[in-house]
């Protein structure tokens, strides 16, 4: 029997909600329904971090704690989790959490609007890393914008937040104001865990959260017009920015099989609902040349919610994971009812926002071949800002050399066409040729045949073309050690 109430923990208590509007956001719930106005709304699109909250989930005998942007998280996705807000750390009259105290002592706040979001990002860092390097701090704060303090005092607070020792490690507010241990929280999360499918809704709109792959496939076959929801980092904005009404949502985030990853003798297999935060380390472990691009993929809260499957299925022409997945020869496991098929990512996109999925068909998994000896793999993201910015151009390469000649070469690009696309003519020039400056010059000319980019707010058509040509030159120089950068060659 499906159940219709969602249950989650907030400040040590179980919150049970019936008839939940499927697209009501966690931020609206906190501010409008509970009057917890500590969590702020800045942009309502996942960009500024003012709305950052943390979610704790059961993970074996412990919990994982991750930040998300509450402005684009739909309320029913909280089911079975613990929600931690800035007010969970300390309320007026209580001792401050060490993160908050460090922010006060180091003058990390002026107008204060961004401060709760920074505190929550630092809180997640505090719980996950007891000796962060400067880059860890920068990366943890990549999704938080401050307009007035400047970042130096906030970084100083991040460095000082450990000064009080480990005393506060489990510090979270309980109703009585006492501290709450991880063991208490695990027990509470176990109490609200349920194996029943959730079906909640309001005013004729519904949110379905199947728990198994078969139930998910059946639900989607029965409602082929439904919107699939994974991390909501694209879908959330359809609601908050485009004001779209969504009648039926089917949520991937509770489907056990879609949340699995595994590495076989030949492949990395990533389930269709695995978050970017979980998928990226697996990919980068085998392909370190993708590390820089993934480091710059959105921000921690977006990567904590957003999935690799959602990035691929959404199919934005400026999506960052797909050029890399394409050059690696990734395939998609697609499922429709009881029928499964495998399709090369190369064949998935037909046109702008048109892909090969049939009615009721979804991405069940992504298979990525493991590297072969001698492969050189890299991906480059070119955007106006280093952190938390959408690419103007994104490229990826897979090269294998035989002496001074190219045995095989693949290149794929985003930001240059209506879909992510291989650079077929450029590849043809390079494959079998000498890996030298003359070949690269000819290949750059071929890129102009491969792509006719458009101008938009991120870059003009001309600049995009020059950028992709220069990125290819850069990759060439990197492989020759002429930029002094690491080149990752496998099995040598």
Our CB check for ligand FES shows the closer of 112 and 432 to be 112
- Torsion of the alpha carbons at 146, 152, 155 and 157, rounded to the nearest 10: -100
> Burial of 359 by CB count in 10 Å (0-12 exposed, 13-18 middle, 19+ buried)?
exposed
Residue showing tokens 């000082």? 160
Q: Give the 3-state DSSP-derived string for 438-466, with helices as H, strands as E and coil as C.
A: HHHHHHHHHHHHHCCCCCECCECHHHHHH
355 is a site residue for ligand FES (CB under 6 A): no
Our CB check for ligand FAD shows the closer of 88 and 233 to be 233
Which of ligand FES, ligand FAD, none lies near 50, with the C-beta cut-off 5 to 8 A by kind? ligand FES
227 is a site residue for ligand FAD (CB under 6 A): yes
Interface with ligand FAD: number of residues (CB under 6 A): 32
Does residue 272 contact residue 365 with C-beta atoms inside 8 Å?
A: yes
Stretch 43-62 residues interacting with ligand FES (CB under 6 A): 43-44, 46-51
CB 472 → ligand FES: shortest distance, Å? 34
CB 452 → ligand FAD: shortest distance, Å? 22
CB 251 → ligand FAD: shortest distance, Å? 9
Does residue 271 contact residue 309 with C-beta atoms inside 8 Å?
A: yes
Our CB check for ligand FES shows the closer of 299 and 479 to be 299
* Contacts (Cβ under 8 Å, ≥6 apart) of 307: 230, 231, 252, 272, 273, 274, 275, 276, 279
Stretch 260-319 residues interacting with ligand FAD (CB under 6 A): 272, 276, 297-298, 302, 305-307, 309-311, 313-314, 319
Our CB check for ligand FES shows the closer of 41 and 82 to be 41
CB 47 → ligand FES: shortest distance, Å? 5
Our CB check for ligand FES shows the closer of 116 and 272 to be 116
Which of ligand FES, ligand FAD, none lies near 146, with the C-beta cut-off 5 to 8 A by kind? ligand FES
Our CB check for ligand FES shows the closer of 142 and 168 to be 142
Strands 375-382, 393-402: pairing is: antiparallel
Q: Which of 344, 462, 483, 333 is nearest to 412 (CA)?
A: 344
Which of ligand FAD, ligand FES, none lies near 228, with the C-beta cut-off 5 to 8 A by kind? ligand FAD
| Distance, CA of 458 to CA of 392 (rounded, Å) | 5
Q: Residue 15 has which token pair?
A: 């919150």
Longest CA–CA separation in the chain, Å: 73
What's phi and psi for 61, nearest 5 deg?
A: -90, 0
CB 62 → ligand FAD: shortest distance, Å? 24
Which residue has the CB atom at the shortest distance from ligand FAD? 310
CB 363 → ligand FES: shortest distance, Å? 26
Does residue 12 contact residue 171 with C-beta atoms inside 8 Å?
A: no
Contacting positions for ligand FAD (CB under 6 A): 45-47, 227-235, 237, 252, 272, 276, 297-298, 302, 305-307, 309-311, 313-314, 319-320, 362-363, 390
């Amino acid at each position: 029997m499906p159940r219709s109430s969602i249950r989650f923990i907030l400040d040590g208590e179980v919150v049970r909600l019936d008839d939940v509007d499927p697209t009501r956001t966690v931020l609206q719930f906190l501010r409008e329904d509970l009057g917890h106005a500590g969590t702020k709304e800045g942009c309502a699109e996942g960009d500024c971090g003012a709305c950052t909250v943390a979610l704790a989930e059961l993970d074996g005998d412990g919990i994982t704690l991750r930040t998300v942007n509450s402005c684009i998280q739909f309320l029913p996705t909280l089911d079975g989790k613990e929600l931690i807000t800035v007010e969970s750390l300390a309320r007026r009259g209580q001792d401050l959490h060490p993160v908050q105290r460090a922010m006060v002592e180091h003058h990390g706040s002026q107008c204060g609007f961004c401060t709760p979001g920074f505190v929550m990002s630092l809180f997640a860092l505090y719980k996950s890393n007891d000796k962060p390097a400067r880059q860890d701090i920068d990366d943890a704060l990549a999704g938080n914008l401050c307009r007035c303090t400047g970042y130096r005092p906030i970084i100083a607070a991040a460095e000082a937040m450990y000064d009080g020792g480990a005393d506060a490690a489990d510090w979270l507010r309980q109703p009585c104001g006492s501290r709450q241990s991880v063991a208490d929280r695990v027990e509470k999360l176990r109490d609200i865990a349920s194996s029943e499918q959730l079906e909640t809704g309001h005013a004729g709109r519904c949110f379905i959260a199947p728990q198994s792959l078969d139930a998910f496939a059946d639900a989607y076959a029965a409602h082929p017009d439904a919107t699939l929801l994974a991390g909501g980092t694209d879908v959330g904005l359809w609601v908050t920015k485009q004001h779209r009404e969504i009648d039926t949502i089917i949520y991937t985030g509770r489907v056990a099989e879609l949340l699995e990853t595994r590495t076989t003798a030949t492949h990395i297999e990533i389930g269709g609902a695995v978050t970017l935060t979980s998928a990226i380390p697996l990919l980068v472990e085998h392909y370190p040349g993708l590390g820089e691009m993934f480091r710059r993929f959105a921000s921690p809260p977006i990567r904590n919610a957003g999935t690799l499957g959602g990035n691929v299925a959404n199919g934005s022409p400026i999506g960052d994971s797909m050029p890399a997945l394409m050059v690696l020869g990734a395939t998609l496991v697609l499922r429709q009812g009881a029928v499964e098929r495998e399709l090369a990512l190369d064949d998935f996109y037909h046109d702008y926002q048109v892909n090969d999925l049939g009615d009721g068909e979804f991405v069940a998994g992504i298979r990525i071949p493991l590297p072969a000896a001698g492969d050189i793999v890299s991906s480059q993201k070119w955007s106006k800002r280093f952190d938390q910015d959408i690419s103007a151009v994104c490229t990826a390469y897979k090269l294998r050399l035989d002496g001074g000649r190219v045995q095989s070469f693949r290149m794929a690009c985003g930001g240059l066409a209506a879909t992510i696309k291989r650079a077929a003519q450029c590849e043809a020039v390079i494959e079998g040729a000498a890996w030298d400056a003359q070949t690269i010059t000819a290949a750059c000319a071929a890129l102009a045949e491969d792509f006719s980019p458009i101008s938009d707010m991120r870059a003009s058509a001309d600049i995009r073309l020059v950028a992709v040509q220069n990125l290819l030159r850069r990759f060439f120089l990197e492989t020759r050690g002429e930029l002094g950068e690491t080149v990752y060659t496998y099995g040598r």
